[in-house]
Structures are given as C-alpha cells and as structure tokens.
Amino acid sequence: MDIELMLKVYPFFLEAAWLTIVLSVLTAVLGLICGTLGAFARLSRFAILRFIAAAYVSVFRGTPALIQLFILYFGGPQIGIQLDAFEAGVIGLGINAGAYMAETIRGGIISIDKGQREAARTLGLSHWQAMYKIILPQAARLMVRPLGVNLNMLIKATALVAAISVVELTYTAQRYIGSTYKPFEMFLLAGVLYMIIIYVTGRGVVWLDRKVQIT
Amino acid sequence: MTDEKSFVEIRHAQKAFGKLEVLKDISLSVDKGQIVGIIGSSGSGKSTLLRAINDLDPLTGGEVWLDGVEVNQKLPHRQYEKHINQMRQQVGMVFQHFNLFPHMTARENVTMAPMLLKGLSKDEANTLAEEQLDNVGMLERIDYYPSQLSGGQKQRVAIARALAMKPKLMLFDEATSALDPELVEEVNQVMRKLAEQHMTMIIVTHEMDFAASVCDRVLFMDQGVVVEEGPPSMLFKNPTQPRTREFLRKHLENAK
Ligand SMILES: Nc1ncnc2c1ncn2[C@@H]1O[C@H](COP(=O)(O)OP(=O)(O)OP(=O)(O)O)[C@@H](O)[C@H]1O
Ligand SMILES: [Mg+2]
C-alpha cells in the first residue's frame, strides 16, 4: 500500500469531502422540505393531494436514484430544464430523499395515539393547532432515529453524482485513479472519509435522540 | 313538537359505522346542572353517544343542541370547523385513558388551551393552572410530567385540563375504568365535588354505586337504544324492563 501517495493526495480528498458534506446538507434540507410536504399531502383530506403524494413516493422509491439523476441532468435540457451538475445533483438527490423521508414523517405522525388528537380537538383546538401543538412535537421525537437512517442513506447516495461529474469524494477518487493507477489506495481514502462523515452524523443523531426524549 | 330546548338536547340521534347501526334514534334532554349517568353493556353505544355530543364521532342523523345552539349544524367545511371548535371549548371531555399530553407537564397540559384559544397571558394561565390543579388536589405535582404520575393523578390532571376551559358541560367516558381499584375513589371524589358545584355532567360508567350516588337520572342503553331511564332509585331498585333487570343481575354477579 502506497501510504506516501495517500498522504500526498489527501488534502484534495478533504476538499472533495467538504463538497460531499455541502451536497449532503443541501440534499437533506431539500429532502426534509419535500418529505414534509409529501407526508402532509399523503395525510390530506383531499384525495387529489393524497394521490399525487402516493405517486411521488412510489415513483421515486421505485426507480434507481441514478436513473432519476440521469433523466434530470442529461434528459432535462431536452424538456427545457438546464441545470449544472451540482444543481442537478442536489435537486435530484433531494427529491429522491424526500420520497423516503415522506414515509418516515408520515409514519411518525400516524403512530401518535389518536386519543392525543381527540383530546386536543375536544379542548377546541383546530386541526392544525392540534397538529402543531400536540401531534408534531411528539411525532418529531419518534422521527429522529428513522430520519437518521434516511440521512445515512442520503450521504451514501451522494456518491452517485460522481456519475454526472460533480467533484465530490467518489469522483475525486476516480480522477486520481486515472493519474496514479492506484484504485485500492484512492477508494480506501474516499471510504475512510465517508465513514468519518457518517460516523459523526450518526453520533449527532443519537445525541439528538437522547436530548429530545420526554422525561 | 314544541321547539323548547333543554340545555343539552339530543334529537333522534342515529349513527352507523357502515352497515352497523350503533345508535338507533336516541333522544335525550339534560337540564342545566343535571347529572345524567349512562350505563349499558360493552358495545351498546354509550361512548358513541357521548362522543356525538361534541361531534368527535359525527352522527349520521339527528341533532345535538347545547344551550340553544345546534352543535352539528350543516355548514360549509371551513365555517363548520370554526363553529365546532367554538362549541367544543364549551364542553369538557374526560377519557378512559386520560389522553394527557405526554410532552407537557401537568401545568402545561392545563395552560395550553386557555393560552392558545382564549388568549390568556402566561401569568393568567399559571394562576388558572394552580387554581384548577389545586381543585383536584394536584398542586404539589404541578410541574410533573404525566409519566411521573399514577393513573388516578393523571385523570385528575385531565379533569383540571378540561375545567380550565370553563366548560358548560362535562362529559365523562368511563373515567375510572382504567384505574386500579384503590385509585378509583380519588377520581370519584373530584367528580362528586363537581356535582356539588352543580356542573352539568353526562357520565358513562360501569360503577353502579357511583352512578346511584351522584346522578339525578340514569339511562340504560342496549344495542343502540335507550331501554329505560329514570332516577337511580327507580332504575336500580325497580327496573321495569327485562333487559335492564338482566343487565343489573349480571353486573351484580360479576361484582361478587
Ligand atoms: N370507529 C368505529 N368504526 C366501526 N365501528 C365502531 C367504531 N367505533 C365504535 N364502533 C362500534 O360501535 C359499537 C358501539 O361502540 P361504543 O364504543 O359506543 O360502545 P360502548 O357502549 O361505549 O362500549 P364499552 O362499554 O365497551 O366502552 C360497537 O359495536 C363498536 O364496535
Ligand atoms: Mg365506551
């Protein structure tokens, strides 16, 4: 194993790891927005919203994220959507993550005992007041861990955007393999950095989960 | 039929879950300050009737009136929501399983709705919470979370939470059924105190002795109809209907 080479190139990998982190954060934010909208639409009293949200979830969970990225990035211009690779990466992965998060968020909401909603409505709270004061604060606590799983998958999925040439960790590893012919070292380096990002995120999730538990 | 309405008036209430008819043309009037008990075997429709009064289980037919206002009147969705939220503020409800908000302390359980819906300031709401929790003997536990309370204590907080909205009517759906026997009396005492203060109450219960001691009138329900009703002295001692006699006899046997 060429340790010397690894030490020489790792600053470039750190830079790429930073892009992976930025990509993950933006994707997570977009995913949460799409997921929240999707979850509420699935629980809506309007059939049309329920239908749209169910279609969103099954289409984006039912096809490979890579195909979704390719359609957006390579197919987009054909239907008038011009995005650079980074934008396409964030939007494509974000919408994809949103489909998974929608299910997580919906699951959290419907797992709250219906007596909670009834007690709130009985006091005179409106549907949205009950949601925001009673259901969501409880559901959010239950969602921390499963959303953490979504986050874990989303971080790993950012590797896919290497296929549309975003210069994140995986793409960087591939590029250095092209010049060094050392795939073992290069992928190992990328893998270790992914592992660190995911480990730290995972600890964060555990910490948050403990912090929000009801005494 | 004259249009003179009692404080609470249920007219020809009908409720079906699909093909299952749970309430079959029930009418009931309750005067202000009256305490009405509802007894009957499991599945007879007691909860459904009680929950129809604040439209938690909407009726499929019939009317509910409270203090001269039709509760389940036909209105467009948005207007109806506004109307029903207004009505529900005037009706307190106590559930078998307490349904306290677990992420809030006893104090917060009590102050949440008055602050949100009646615009009480934090200070006003705190004073109210102290008053209401003191009333049910829970002042010492005001900053405890529900998980730190016994069943009887939870139920007393739940009653305080309902009373903090200053309701005109209180509905109790088997408030003591989920409690260990030794905790029943502390909740019953709170309800007796309310009775002394002339709160209008409708109480679904399996406790015949309690019903006999606090209710002005008791209804026996079976299969979605009111089979018999009258003052407890009559209904419990001299029931006229065979079904009532059968129910009471079985109940006595089970109690033994
Ligand atoms: N949401 C629902 N969907 C379908 N059926 C229901 C629903 N709620 C109640 N029922 C049925 O309606 C009938 C009456 O129920 P209800 O809860 O009013 O009975 P109850 O007299 O309160 O009984 P218990 O003493 O067990 O509380 C039962 O047969 C029950 O299975
Ligand atoms: Mg019941």
Domains of chain A: 3-212 (1.10.3720.10)
- Taking any CB pair shorter than 8 Å as contact, residues of chain A touching chain B are 113, 115-116, 118-127, 129, 133-134, 137-138, 141, 214-215
Q: Is B99 an 8 Å CB contact of chain A?
A: yes
Ranking A167-176, B135-144, B211-220 by mean pLDDT, the lowest is A167-176
Shortest alpha-carbon distance between residue B93 and chain A (Å): 7
Length of chain A: 215
Q: State yes or no: pLDDT of B2 exceeds 80.
A: no
Beta carbons of A122 and B116 less than 8 Å apart:
no
* pLDDT, mean over chain B: 93
Decide: B97 in ligand 1 pocket, CB within 6 A. no
Nearest chain A CA: its distance from B162 CA (Å): 7
Atom nearest to B18 CA in ligand 1: 4
What is the CA(A103)–ligand 2 centre distance, in A? 33
CA dihedral B238, B243, B249, B255 (to 10 degrees): -110
ipTM above 0.90, yes or no: yes
User: What confidence tier does A215 reach under pLDDT thresholds 50, 70, 90?
Assistant: low
Q: Determine, for residues A127 and B86 on separate chains, whether the beta-carbon distance falls below 8 Å.
A: no
CB B145 to CB A214 under 8 A? yes
| Mutant choice from A44, A122, A132 vs B, greatest count of B C-beta within 10 A | A122
Burial of A203 (0-12, 13-18, 19+ CB in 10 A): exposed
CB A212 within 8 A of CB A144: yes
* Shortest-distance ligand to the CA of residue B45: 1
Q: Which of A115, A124, A134 sits opposite B88 (nearest CB)?
A: A124
- Burial of residue A137, with CB atoms counted within 10 A of its CB: 0-12 exposed, 13-18 middle, 19 or more buried: middle
* DSSP 8-state code for residue A134: I
Mean pLDDT of chain A: 94
- For A38-77, what is each residue's pLDDT tens digit? 999 999 999 999 999 999 999 999 999 999 999 999 999 9
Neighbours of B86 (CB within 10 A): 12
- Check CB contact of B96 with chain A, cutoff 8 Å: no
Contacts of B252 (CB under 8 A, 6+ apart): none
pLDDT tier for residue A2 given thresholds of 50, 70 and 90: confident
Q: Which atom of ligand 1 is nearest to the CA of B49?
A: 18
Cβ–Cβ below 8 Å for B101 and A134: yes
More reliable by pLDDT, A109 or A167: A109
Q: Does B97 touch chain A (CB under 8 A)?
A: yes
Under 8 Å CB pairs connecting chains A and B tally to: 63
Quick one: which of A139, A140, A149, A142 has its CA closest to A201? A149
Query: What pLDDT is stored for residue A108 in this prediction?
Result: 95
Mean of the pLDDT values across residues A117-142? 95
pTM of the model: 0.89
How deeply is A70 buried, as exposed, middle or buried, from its count of CB atoms within 10 A (0-12, 13-18, 19+)?
middle
Nearest ligand to the CA of B206 is 1
